[in-house]
A and B are shown apart, each in its own frame.
Chain A
Amino acid sequence: MGDLLRLVLKRLGYGLLTLLVVSILIFFAVEMLPGDVAEQILGQGATPETVARLREQLGLNQPAVVRYLQWLGGAVQGDFGISATSGDPVMDVIGTRFVNTLFLAAYAAVIAVPVAIILGIIVALLRNTIFDRVANVLTLTSISSPEFFLGYILILFLAVKANMFPAIANLSSGMDLGELLYRTFLPALTLVLVVTAHMMRMTRAAIIALLSSPYIEMARLKGVPPWKVIVRHALPNAWAPIINVVALNLAYLITGVVLVEVVFVYPGIGQALVDAVSKRDFPVVQACSLIFAATFILLNLAADVGAILTNPRLRHPK
């Protein structure tokens, strides 16, 4: 087990290092601004006094490195400083929104992951039939369409024309789960469509790539029936790529959600980021970027660790 543990630890260490580098990148990107953040936020009409006050408020009088360390220290404890436009702590602005985003992503993932993997296996079993060809065209279309296209189509047909689901996902506290699921159905469905198509294709590809290996031919020549060839002989070896694609898509669910949130006016962190970018509210932009990047890195990390753990050669060393 020593080898396995070392590999996993190495991967974890590498993930943390990447996270650190990314945080540096996010923090110091803002330093590239001509002048400083305070001037940028207030614009040209600002008086020197107001600029100085904001500078004081943002702690801009200290050297960048010190501010970075303070920012990072705060971020680890969930404190991202003060929003430049509203004056509230950043955490208050994005805290509940982040929870909402996670809810939407989880909602979509719970539907998409099992459906995609099962459909992927079925399509691999039926490869090169009409069914497979049609599935290929449909999934390709779904991946290639921008999220807002799918979103608006769903709104047009399911909300405006058929009037089955609400077009705008406004949430209020005190809604029960059923109500919540009903109101967020369309954004979740949009995400499901995009993500399922992608995962399905990758699952199919991962399985088919294995079908030409000698041990699959061996299984066939042992008289193993086709479904068992896939489930028992191909699938266990396809876990690594499948786990990878699932993680990648979960990461996408959390970040790609930005566009969907805007389409459905969903109160998530993506909307907050877009608002902050147009208002140039840098503390919020930095906080959102860091949260998104961290989720992304952690999920990729989980995928790699998963792939290491499911590799029989590593799990059972010589």
Chain B
Amino acid sequence: MSVFVIGYYAALICASCLAAYFNYRKVFMMVFSLTLISFVLGIIGGVPALRNVTIAAGMLALAAGVSYAFREFLIQIAKPDLAKELRTAPLTASFGMFVVFTYAIAGIFAPWIAPYGEAEVITSAFAPADRDMLLGADQLGRDVFSRLIYGARNTVGIALVATILAFIMGALAGLLAAVKGGWFDQVMGRFADVIMSIPSLIFALLMLSILGPKIWVIVIVVAIIYAPRVFRLTRAVAGNIVVMDYIEAAKLRGEGDWYLIRREILPNSTAPLIAEFGLEFCFVFLLIAGLSFLGLGIQPPTADWGSMVRENATLISFGDITPLIPAAAIALLTVSVNFVVDWMLFRSSGLKEQ
């Protein structure tokens, strides 16, 4: 029994006793079940397994701490109304906000943060990490860390533009369809059905094979693919609002469609639309990353996470995690956005189930 193992169990048991004493039932259940699991893990995996558990727990604790501090920070700087909302955010949501914030900083200030240029060849291929290159070099000898930072700008930026475009088209059509009804509604609905009945990745591949993988093509094709989804949601949300009596009252007053959309419908549909924007962004982002991974999206030498995974993929068979880093960067952002969206959806639906 090493000192580590004794300390490990002592810490867990102390923590569970404290939790039990102060009546934190959930904490106690978690810590104590971890203790029990550790017995089994320790027998099977030995000390390394317990070390891994410690590292994982430490990272979780660190993430929780960062999230907690970041939420407090946001509450301090936000306006009273917003601060009240933020207080209800679970740690996962504030973790998500923190990550989004970090990515935004990385993307905006990329040239100042990255030590090297995005296409700058500085050393030999697959050079290992050292003090100058935090994550080593890629297959052409470019700094992986710098390319990661630039990737935040390129990949996220393009996805954001495509999402905004999809949103403008979809939401506008959805709102108009809800207000106008009749044939316009029908035609738009059928049109959306047709586009949505082609799987998104397949549609994108088809169009890119014809038009070639240029950035503006990607943005427009992706926007067209996702606009129908936004249309459907907006149509549904607005559809629930247009049946309200206050819309009837406004119509009977003789108000125009644009007034109805702007003053009566939009103020009541912002919450679901913002949440939908987050979800749409995740879809768009994953699609663009997937296209890049297949080599049909953003083209080299532009730094882009999807293509970075593809370029370094062979390293994985040597047990090197370099290709996983950009993939993890993609996953982390979508997970984070989803955490925030999950909380917003929960807030806006006001789930009664306690």
Contact = CB atoms under 8 A, between A and B. Distances in A.
Given A136-B342, A144-B335, A277 B198 contact: no
Given A143-B338, A146-B331, A148-B293, A26 B353 contact: no
Given A18-B197, A285-B209, A289-B202, A211 B335 contact: no
Nearest to A258: B201
Nearest to B349: A209
A18 B317 contact: no
Contacts of B282: 144
Interface stretch (A49-57, A64-72, A291-299): A291-299
A316 B208 CA distance: 49
Contacts of B154: none
Nearest to A257: B201
Contacts of B331: 141, 144-146, 149
A32 B197 contact: no
A62 interface: no
Interface residues of A, number: 58
Interface in A113-162: 127-128, 130, 136-137, 140-141, 143-149, 152-153, 155-156, 160-161
A146 B286 contact: yes
Contacts of B296: 274, 277-278
A160 B314 CA distance: 12
Contacts of B203: 289
A156 B210 contact: no
B210 A22 contact: no
A160 B319 contact: yes
Contact of A273 (B198, B202, B313, B316): B202
B50 interface: no
Interface in A178-226: 208, 211-212
B335 A296 contact: no
B120 interface: no
B63 to A, nearest CB: 11
B37 to A, nearest CB: 13
Contacts of A137: 92, 339
B29 interface: yes
Contact of A130 (B29, B205, B306): B29
A91 interface: no
Nearest to B204: A277
B253 interface: no
A127 B353 contact: yes
Contacts of A161: 319
Nearest to B287: A146
B193 interface: yes
Interface residues on B, range: 35 or more
A149 B294 contact: no
B26 interface: yes
Contacts of A286: 206
A277 B209 contact: yes
Contacts of A153: 324
A256 interface: yes
B197 A289 contact: no
B290 A146 contact: yes
Contacts of B321: 156
Nearest to A147: B290
A293 B204 CA distance: 12
A177 interface: no
B146 interface: no
Nearest to A293: B198
B309 interface: yes
Contacts of A273: 202, 205
Contact of B210 (A21, A30, A208, A296): A30
Interface string B278-299: 0000100010011001111000
A155 B318 CA distance: 11
B198 A296 contact: yes
Interface in A238-287: 251-252, 255-256, 258-259, 262-263, 273-274, 276-278, 280, 282, 285-286
A292 B202 contact: yes
B327 interface: yes
A300 B198 CA distance: 11
Contacts of B339: 137, 140
A288 interface: yes
A149 B310 CA distance: 11
A289 B201 contact: no
A18 B287 CA distance: 24
14 contacts: A25-B194, A26-B198, A29-B206, A30-B210, A128-B353, A145-B335, A152-B313, A156-B319, A258-B205, A262-B294, A280-B209, A289-B206, A292-B202, A293-B197
Given A19-B197, A256-B199, A277-B205, 9 more contacts: A29-B206, A146-B327, A149-B324, A156-B316, A208-B351, A251-B199, A262-B293, A262-B294, A293-B198
State the 9 A-B residue pairs at the shortest beta-carbon distance, nearest first: A255-B199, A144-B334, A149-B327, A145-B331, A277-B209, A144-B335, A292-B202, A293-B198, A144-B338
Interface of B: 26, 29-30, 92, 193-194, 197-199, 201-203, 205-211, 282, 286, 289-290, 293-296, 306, 309, 313, 316-319, 321, 323-324, 327-328, 330-331, 334-335, 337-339, 342, 351-354
